[in-house]
């Protein structure tokens, strides 16, 4: 009969694991937070359209327009045969529609012409600053005076520029004088537009819980802000011009990585760092407002006839503080 020994059994372990809470690996995140609405809107607007998709939509619009025109022609000719009076009424309505469409086309072309005019002034100013050419700077100043000649809100600045421009004998000083006298008041108006748009986007994001409502609000508010900034600087744009400006600004932001907002920018708003942890909607509102401010500053650089030289470029942090401080629990004195 075999004797069974009972008792504890020991096993040799080659090496004990030295794991502590400090040395333990981090727990992998199972779900990533979705990007903010302004980031989604920027990516969507800056995305280059597919060539095949452009051909498809172009062919579809042409097909619909062709058959609509043929149907309208058949309807008018049929009315002329059955009832000449109704036929002539149809001809008049079609003529009115064609004239209205032509006027819209001419307005869009004029808007593109104004935008191209501002682009030429920017390019010429950059060349004058790089070369230090006084004749080129005088030419740029003359173009700026012509650009704002019919505007009463720049009359005082243009008069001050005309009185002092002959005394300046270097390109940097002459362009700086034009910037300080003519563009500084326009910069203040553009900053107010940026602050209003940032406040609107942040409020809608924090308050409205509907899906995609914040994306739609961010995109429309930024397009409206860019259009108003262009109007402030003299480059009034139509519908297509506004979309071109919006794509140009947002493409620049996406290409430079400026659509990513860090915690330092969020924490610059009073209570922003705390609220972004307590309430996800408030945190997204601050992020969207900050990104809107960045879009506004980029729009100023795109629409402004002269680069920032003597005048300070608006700080995104200051714009966010002015527009959002007090909105989410802060105060003006913070």
Considering the domain boundaries, does residue 278 fall inside one? Answer: yes
Name every residue whose Cβ is closer than 8 Å to that of residue 33 and which is 6 or more positions away in sequence.
280
Q: pTM for this structure?
A: 0.67
Using 50, 70 and 90 to split pLDDT, how confident is the model at 135? confident
In a domain? residue 2: no
pLDDT of residue 65: 85
pLDDT bracket for residue 29 (50, 70, 90): very low
Of 273 and 118, the structure prediction assigns the larger pLDDT to 118
- 135 lies in a domain? yes
pLDDT of 314 reads 85
Q: What's the whole-number average pLDDT of the chain? A: 75
Task: Give domain status of residue 330, yes or no.
Answer: no
Residue 309, pLDDT above cutoff 70: yes
Range of the domain at 147: 64-324
d(CA 61, CA 93): 22
Whole-number pLDDT of residue 15: 52
DSSP secondary structure string for all residues of 276-301:
HHH-HHHHHHHHHHHHHHHHHHHHHH
265 and 318 Cβ atoms separated by less than 8 Å: no
Classify residue 12: in a domain, yes or no.
no
* Per-residue pLDDT reduced to its tens digit, 95-108: 898 899 888 888 87
| pLDDT value at residue 107 | 82
Q: How sure is the predictor about 3, in pLDDT bands with cuts at 50, 70 and 90?
A: low
**Are the C-beta atoms of 97 and 72 separated by less than 8 Å?**
no
Which residues are CB-neighbours of 37 under 8 A, at least 6 positions away? 201, 205, 214, 215, 217, 218, 284, 288
pLDDT in tens, 10-22: 555 555 556 566 6
Does residue 11 form part of some domain? no
* pLDDT for 31: 42
In a domain, 46, yes or no: no
Taking the CA atoms of residue 283, residue 286, residue 288 and residue 292 in that order, the dihedral angle to the nearest 10 degrees is -170
Residue 303 lies in a domain: yes
Q: What is the DSSP letter of 20?
A: -
Q: How many domains, in total, are found in the chain?
A: 1
How far is the C-alpha of 108 from the C-alpha of 204, rounded, in Å? 31
Say what the pLDDT of residue 14 is. 53
């Amino acid at each position: 009969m075999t004797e069974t020994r009972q008792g504890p059994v020991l096993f040799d372990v080659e090496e004990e694991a030295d794991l502590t809470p400090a040395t333990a690996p981090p727990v992998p995140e199972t779900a990533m937070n979705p990007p903010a609405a302004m980031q989604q809107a920027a990516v969507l607007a800056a995305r280059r359209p597919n060539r095949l998709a452009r051909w498809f939509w172009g062919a579809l619009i042409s097909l619909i327009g062709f058959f609509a025109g043929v149907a309208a022609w058949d309807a008018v000719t049929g009315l002329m045969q059955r009832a000449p009076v109704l036929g002539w009424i149809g001809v008049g309505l079609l003529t009115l529609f064609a004239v209205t469409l032509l006027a819209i086309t001419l307005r869009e072309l004029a808007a593109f012409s104004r935008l191209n005019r501002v682009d030429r002034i920017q390019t010429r100013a950059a060349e004058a600053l790089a070369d230090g050419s006084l004749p080129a700077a005088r030419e740029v100043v003359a173009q700026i005076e012509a650009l704002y000649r019919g505007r009463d809100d720049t009359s005082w600045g243009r008069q001050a520029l005309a009185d002092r421009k002959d005394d300046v004998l270097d390109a940097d000083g002459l362009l700086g004088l034009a910037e300080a006298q003519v563009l500084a008041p326009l910069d203040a108006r553009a900053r107010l537009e940026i602050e209003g748009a940032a406040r609107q986007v942040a409020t809608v994001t924090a308050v409205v819980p509907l899906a995609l409502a914040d994306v739609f609000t961010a995109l429309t508010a930024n397009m409206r802000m860019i259009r108003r900034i262009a109007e402030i600087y003299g480059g009034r744009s139509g519908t297509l011009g506004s979309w071109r400006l919006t794509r140009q600004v947002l493409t620049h932001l996406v290409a430079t990585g400026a659509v990513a907002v860090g915690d330092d920018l969020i924490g610059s708003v009073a209570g922003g760092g705390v609220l972004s942890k307590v309430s996800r909607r408030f945190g997204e509102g601050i992020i969207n407002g900050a990104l809107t401010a960045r879009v506004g500053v980029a729009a100023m650089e795109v629409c402004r006839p002269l680069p920032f030289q003597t005048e300070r470029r608006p700080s995104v942090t200051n714009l966010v503080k002015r527009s959002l401080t007090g909105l989410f629990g802060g105060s003006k004195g913070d």
